[in-house]
Structure 1
Amino acid sequence: MSDQKPKENPLKRILLVFSMVAFLGSTGYGLFGLYSNALQQPQTTATSEEASVDQQLAAKERGYELVLEREPENRVALEGLVDIRLQMQDTQSAIAPLERLVELHPQDAKYKIKLAELKQQADKL
């Protein structure tokens, strides 16, 4: 008996090599796309989040202003307007609704204290 290896079909070998190259190529292409998108997204997301937050604050501010047009003595709307304007870092604009709160509720010391603090900050600017 002779030790003869069965002859492999060269067509099978070519198909196997071609399949492996195609698999590795498609996997590499997919991973490259995944990583390149992951590197680009944080830059655009940060700026869009900042714009979104600014838009939300502006919308809330406008909402409080609309309430105050109908109900100028609305305590919740006045407090909300002060808070929103402080979040927007608009100290000067936050003073007017806070002064109104002091007029409406002179017995509430927290409004007077906050007003004095804001006026000091505005003077420094």
Structure 2
Amino acid sequence: MTGSGDEYLISRKKQIERRKKIVTIVSMFSFFGSTVFAVIPAIQQASQPKPAIASASTESGLQQQAQGYELVLQREPENQLALEKLSLLRLQLKDAKGAMELLEKLVKLHPERQDYKVVLEQIKKQESNGAH
């Protein structure tokens, strides 16, 4: 009986060892699998640009630039470069009325510049078409 009891214990230990190996292997695959499934989307998300955040940060950057040109215009109200750049920034920020005011001032200060007149007329046409 002791012989069969020893055999039983040996076979039982082998079963336990096999189960441990299987559980270890399954655990390792589960761990690596979950790691891969967590890392791949994170890498894909990091590589894709974020348009909503980008546009919001771009707009805030444009507003900061506009504030800088407004400060220049407070010191030098007839600064041609600041008036030009600020009018362009206001157009980018979809502030057509603000851009028109600046361009009208540029046309008054520099009547020889046809490009100011042309841009001003284009904005006025767009505004009149948009109002209808």
TM over 0.5, shorter chain: yes
Query: Cα offset for 1:74?
Result: 1.0
Amino acid at match of 2:32: T
SS state at 2:50 partner: helix
TM-score, normalised by the number of residues in structure 1 = 0.78
Q: Which moved more, 1:28-37 or 1:10-19?
A: 10-19
SS state at 2:115 partner: helix
Greater Rg by CA? 2
SS state at 2:69 partner: helix
TM-score, normalised by the number of residues in structure 2 = 0.74
Question: Identity of aligned pairs, percent?
Answer: 35
Aligned residues: 118
Match of 1:90 in 2: 95
Match of 1:51 in 2: 56
Tell me if 1:26 matches 2:26.
no
Tell me if 1:73 matches 2:78.
yes
CA RMSD in angstroms comes to 2.8
Deviation per CA, 1:46-105, whole angstroms, max 9, x where unpaired? Answer: 322222112111111111111110111111111111111111122121101111111111
- Structure 2 unaligned blocks of 5 or more: 1-12
Amino acid at match of 1:69: Q
Amino acid at match of 1:102: V
Match of 2:128 in 1: 123
Give 1 or 2: higher helix fraction. Answer: 2
SS state at 2:111 partner: coil
Match of 1:108 in 2: 113
Q: Which moved more, 1:101-110 or 1:11-20?
A: 11-20
